[in-house]
A = this chain, B = another copy of it.
Amino acid sequence: MKLASLNDGTRDGRLVVVTKDLTRYTDASFLVPTLQSAVDNWARISPHLEALAGSLELGAVPSQRFHEHDALSPLPRAFQWADGSAYVNHVELVRKARGAGMPESFWTDPLIYQGGSDSFLRPREPIRVADEAYGIDMEGEVAVIVDDVRIGVTIDEARAAIRLVMLVNDVSLRGLIPDELAKGFGFFQSKPSSAFSPVAVTPDELGDAWDGSKVHLPLSVDLNGRAFGRANAGVDMTFDFPALIAHAARTRPLCAGTIIGSGTVSNKRDGAPGKPVEEGGVGYSCLAELRMIETIDEGEPRTPFLRFGDLVRIEMKDAYGHSIFGAIEQQVINYGREA
């Protein structure tokens, strides 16, 4: 089933069930008002939501046209957003780009940062930044929403706790990262609000593309209407979702509704970094990777970070070319100047 939180003026939105083809929705708030409350009571509520989704597909319940731009992020705010860096290829490149080496342990010990989860952007909401010099970058990722997870969870338990899958644009301010990380406490100002896809889907909606641990489909990242990335989320994911969840829960429980991110999707080709889409490669899911490859090839980056007015679109299509999650589509805006 596919779930969305419609913008009804409340902080957490109104829960609706959306058709598989994303064209229509039916209200689900008579069952449970919000997605967080659904995840809080998943075992009890999800069978009712599944039944409603079945009726919706059959046209047996009242429905209305679903507009992606009316959706909030599925969890407009969450109690936890923990973002991994599972595509270690990406980590290696981005660290190179800022002159930092990468310890060997990064290939065996998952890297996760604690993200801000109190104010996610809507999937179509502008990215408001005060200064282009902050080095604005998109990061296209896959994320899962989990149920309650105990301390010290096993990999199998972690896999069984995955409830929903969605996409995310983990916006980064690359120019603020080096100074912030040098302070030793991780990201804060360099990670402004993220945006998630218009719908979150249960793993069964992914069919064979979901193996219980990864999504085996290309992630489409477009920049100003041109294909920028088509990296496959199932390729080169060194740490799958159960591994990330178990890492996050090593010393503390995770509350239902916790979002675990994959980190920027990134594919290595034949041992070398992927080529741009226009050169027949799978491209990139963030600008920092391309800039690093340009630096390696040409001595310095040629592609700028995002500028005011730039438009980023992140989407994932199934084998038939149908959008699974709807699209994140965000324009970069000069904060305080848009009025």
Measuring CB to CB, which residues of chain A are less than 8 angstroms from any residue of chain B?
11, 40, 77-80, 82, 85, 100, 103, 105-106, 109, 111-119, 128-130, 134, 151-152, 173, 176, 181-193, 247-248, 250-255, 257-258, 335-336
Contact partner of A188 among B113, B129, B189, CB < 8 A? B113
C-alpha gap A336/B150 in the complex (Å): 11
B-chain residues with CB within 8 Å of residue A336 when the two chains form the complex: 152
Give the copy number. Answer: 2
Chain B positions within 8 Å of A40 at CB level: 11
Chain B residues with CB under 8 Å of A190's CB are: 251
* Closest CB in chain B relative to A195 CB, distance in Å: 12
> A-side binding surface: helix, strand, loop or mixed?
loop
Q: Which B residues are CB-close (under 8 A) to A100?
A: 184
Find A112's partner among B109, B182, B185, B247 (CB 8 Å cutoff): B185
Q: Are A252 and B335 in contact (CB under 8 A)?
A: no
Q: How far is the CA of A168 from the CA of B247 in the complex (A)?
A: 25
**CB proximity of A26 to chain B, nearest CB, Å:** 26
Q: How far is the CA of A129 from the CA of B247 in the complex (A)?
A: 15
> A190 to B186, alpha carbons, bound, how many Å?
13
Q: Name 16 interchain pairs, CB-CB below 8 A, sorted by A.
A: A79-B79, A80-B116, A82-B188, A106-B183, A109-B183, A113-B114, A113-B186, A118-B254, A129-B251, A152-B335, A173-B251, A176-B251, A186-B187, A189-B251, A190-B251, A191-B252
Which of A78, A116, A117, A173 has its CB near the most chain B CB atoms (within 10 A)? A116
Contacts of A79 in B (CB 8 A): 77-79, 117-119
- Decide: A189 near B118, CB < 8 A? Known: A130-B151, A152-B336: no
Residues of chain B within 8 A (CB-CB) of A11 are: 40, 255
Would A250 and B189 count as touching, CB distance under 8 A?
Answer: yes
Q: Is the CB of A252 within 8 A of B193?
A: yes
Tell me how far the C-beta of A229 lies from the nearest C-beta in chain B, rounded to whole angstroms: 23
Q: Are B186 and A185 in contact (CB under 8 A)?
A: yes
Known: A130-B152, A151-B128, A188-B82. A114 touches B112 (CB 8 A): no
Q: How distant is the Cα of A72 from the Cα of B300 in the complex, in angstroms? A: 54
Cα A151 to Cα B40 in complex, Å, equals 30
Is B186 in contact with A252, judged by CB distance below 8 angstroms? no
Provide the residues of chain B in CB contact with A187, threshold 8 Å: 114, 185-186
| Docked pose: A80 CA to B335 CA in angstroms | 22
Q: Complex Cα distance A111/B113, Å?
A: 16
Partner of A185, one of B113, B151, B253: B113
CB distance from A34 to the nearest CB of B (A): 12
Are B80 and A118 in contact, with the CB atoms below 8 A?
A: yes
Q: How far apart are the CA atoms of A85 and B188 in the complex, in Å?
A: 13
A116 contact set on B, CB distance < 8 A: 80, 82, 114, 252
Do residues B251 and A192 form an inter-chain contact, with CB atoms below 8 A? Answer: yes
Greatest chain B CB density within 10 A among A85, A114, A182 is at A114
B257 near A112 (CB under 8 angstroms)?
no
B186 touches A119 (CB 8 A): no
Q: Give the nearest-CB partner of A193 in chain B.
A: B252
Residues of B within 8 A of A251 (CB): 129-130, 134, 173, 176, 189-190, 192
Closest 6 CB pairs of A and B: A186-B186, A118-B255, A79-B118, A80-B118, A113-B185, A114-B114
